[in-house]
Amino acid sequence: MLRTRVITGVIALAILGAVLFVVPPDFAILVFAFLIVAGAWEWSGFLGLSSNTGRYAYAALIAALLAIIVFVVPEYSVTLLQLACLWWFIAFLWTFFFPTPIPVVIRWVCGALILVPLFIAMISLYSYSSQLLLFALILVWAADSGAYFSGKRFGRVKLAPSISPGKTWEGVFGGLVLVGLLATGFAYYADINVAVLLPFSLAVGAISVVGDLTVSMFKRTAGVKDSGKLFPGHGGVLDRIDSVAAAAPLFVLGLDWLDLV
């Protein structure tokens, strides 16, 4: 399993590098949109739909929302990112009360709250610089990978056993240590005040854990382990972007609040 994860990760990183630094910007944005719509297709599996027609309809709905944001009301992008941060705070509180019933209409709405702001955040970061978007992704992946390996080695105290029994507090702290090291290194590389970037990056890493747990709540409600099988050893698109979805809106807004761009 670990070997498969590593091979898939290397291939995915190579493709990501090409998307961020080689292909034309319009094509890169189309790739981002494709990933979000693919995530919407996987999310539709949580909605109890009896046919693929309904699943296609949900994916089409999310695609339409992306188009509206880009072409019709781009001036509301910041407002939607702020709404996303509010949603993730609510999701954080929600994790303390799970398992709770999740009505289908709530699942429909939550899918949009997770996926649409993620797209906005990705294209916003990409418009700043490909390097900043890559840094945001690496922070989240560091939190996830650090948690995986430190949890395997040192994990004892369960983080949220009713949602994700394999996650531990030791894993979370291990992931944040790795985030801190990367943030410190990037601060010196980019000549950014480490006293500003370090706590900001730790906050981004911490909220990424909420994204993972939140999507896991919906997967448990739907009775599925992985959202899909697009990435061997890693699961589906949602399994790869759940943490990013929570972290990216805060990252974008924080860059402005802290005058880092």
> In 3D, which of 15, 111, 11 has the Cα closest to residue 65?
111
Q: Is the pLDDT of residue 5 over 90?
A: no
Cβ-based neighbours of 219, under 8 Å, separated by 6 or more = 46, 225, 226, 227
pLDDT tens column, 91-142:
999 999 998 889 999 999 999 999 999 999 999 999 999 999 999 999 999 9
Q: How confident is the model over 18-45, as a mean pLDDT?
A: 94
Mapped onto helix, strand or coil, the DSSP state of residue 235 is strand
> Number of structural domains, the chain?
1
Mapped onto helix, strand or coil, the DSSP state of residue 106 is helix
User: Judging by DSSP bridges, how do beta strands 158-160 and 164-168 pair with one another?
Assistant: antiparallel
d(CA 107, CA 87): 13
**Which amino acid type is present at position 257?**
W
Q: What is the mean pLDDT of the chain?
A: 91
d(CA 225, CA 141): 20
Give the global pTM: 0.93
| Domain that includes residue 27, residue range | 2-257
Per-residue pLDDT band at 7 (split at 50, 70, 90)? confident
